[in-house]
Amino acid sequence: MAESSLIFADNLPVSPLQQLHSPFLDSADVQLFVKRDDLIHPQFGGNKWRKLKYNLQHAHHNGFNTLLTFGGAWSNHIYATAAAGKHFGFKTIGIIRGERHQPLNATLSFAESCGMQLHYVDRKQYRQKHEASFQEKLIRQFGDAYILPEGGSNSLALKGCEEIIHEVNNQRQQPFDVICCASGTGATLAGMVSAIRSEKSTHKKQAMGFSALKGGDFLSTEVNKYLNTDITENPHPDDWKIESRFHFGGYAKINDDLIQFMHRFKSQYDIELDAVYTAKMFYGIFELIRSESFKPGSVIIAVHSGGLQGNKGFNLQGLV
Ligand SMILES: *Cc1c(COP(=O)(O)O)cnc(C)c1O
């Protein structure tokens, strides 16, 4: 693999920070900006790239030429790993939850077209994905590989997500007040909190994770694990929180209200959202603006974490 292909920062654009305008937003006493991580790369943009970046660098520096990871049939992480692996010259192996269905769905056929080797395991085996014995078995079966956890969430992933905060700070003259992301494992949120905590600034900032899953309060435990903080020492930190109300019935559950919102958002702001994560976050942000839950004058940043490929898993007329 050519060394130059791993100078990531030079190869990929800094995602734009875009202010949204509409009669509703312009009359609300807040400013809303979107950090367009969906535009980093057409195939492996979004937070999955943020989480891959330092993992790929680490894998490369440690002599690995193969990545092995885990995901469901519509996984954004499988999709991004397959595409980024191809782009940066890694072989990729995807351990997929469930049975192989023919024809392959859009996500898996794309992954295969990138050269990813797909291997299916039943749900029981899939649950062992974090266990050393299961991982060793996979290595014996497929050969030596750098193992990425499901969703790409580990400590090197946090390092990549910290850069969202560094970039936004560079893109603005004035500090922001709140930064929002959609949350599944909580790693993206944890990375942003970690960056905010290491700043010298006296301006108080808050990171907010909108849970894409029902019962999202478990995410607080996950975020604390990633941050290595003891929840009993500081049960109510004021620099981050989980918003758990806008899950729409659970992970990958949608309804007409959400779909209508996605259509309106696209026609109003010319930005596509994904139904699993970013649509629920923006829906939540707009509800919070409407109910005047943000302090007057707040500058709010919303991270568009990508994931648009997943929309193919729904029957969404006119959206992707
Ligand atoms: C995976 C994903 C998330 C969730 O990120 P976590 O770090 O797991 O919380 C959010 N948005 C999109 C589009 C994703 O694909």
Q: For residues 273 and 279, what is the distance between their CA atoms, to the nearest angstrom?
A: 5
**Pair (192, 287) in one structural domain:** yes
**Count of domains forming the chain:** 2
**Confidence tier at 319 by pLDDT (50, 70, 90):** low
Q: Is the distance from the beta carbon of residue 306 to the nearest atom of ligand 1 less than 6 Å?
A: yes
Q: Tell me, rounded to whole angstroms, the distance of Cα 93 from its chain centroid.
A: 20
* C-alpha–C-alpha distance, residues 264 and 181, integer Å: 20
Q: Is the CB of 45 under 6 A from ligand 1?
A: no
In a domain, 319, yes or no: no
DSSP 13: P
- Does ligand 1 come within 6 angstroms of the Cβ of 154? no
The residue range of the domain holding 63 is 46-152
Pair (82, 67) in one structural domain: yes
Distance 47 CA to ligand 1 centre (A): 6
Question: Is 76 a pocket residue for ligand 1 (Cβ < 6 Å)?
Answer: yes
293 in a domain, yes or no? yes
- 242's tokens: 């989980």
**Of 152, 185, 209, which marks where a domain is finished?**
152
Name the domain boundary from 100, 134, 152. Answer: 152
Kindly tell me if the per-residue pLDDT of 234 is higher than 60.
Answer: yes
Beta bridge partners of 241: 208
158 contacts 224 by C-beta, under 8 angstroms = no
Last residue of a domain, one of 107, 126, 152: 152
Residue nearest to atom 10 of ligand 1 (CA): 182
On whether residue 81 sits in a domain, the answer given is: yes
- Secondary structure of residue 117 in the 3-state scheme: strand
211 lines ligand 1 (CB under 6 A): no
153 alpha carbon – ligand 1 mean position (Å): 9
Number of CB atoms found within 10 A of residue 14's CB:
13
The pLDDT of residue 134 is above 50: yes
The answer as to whether 240 is a domain residue is yes
Q: Is the pLDDT confidence value at 123 over 80?
A: yes
Ligand 1 neighbourhood includes 151 CB (under 6 angstroms): yes
Question: Has residue 183 got a pLDDT over 50?
Answer: yes
pLDDT, the chain, mean: 94
CATH of the domain at 227: 3.40.50.1100
Of 98, 200, 94, 190, nearest in space to 147 by CA: 94
Provide mean pLDDT across the span 151-162: 97
Pairing of strands 30-35, 17-19: antiparallel
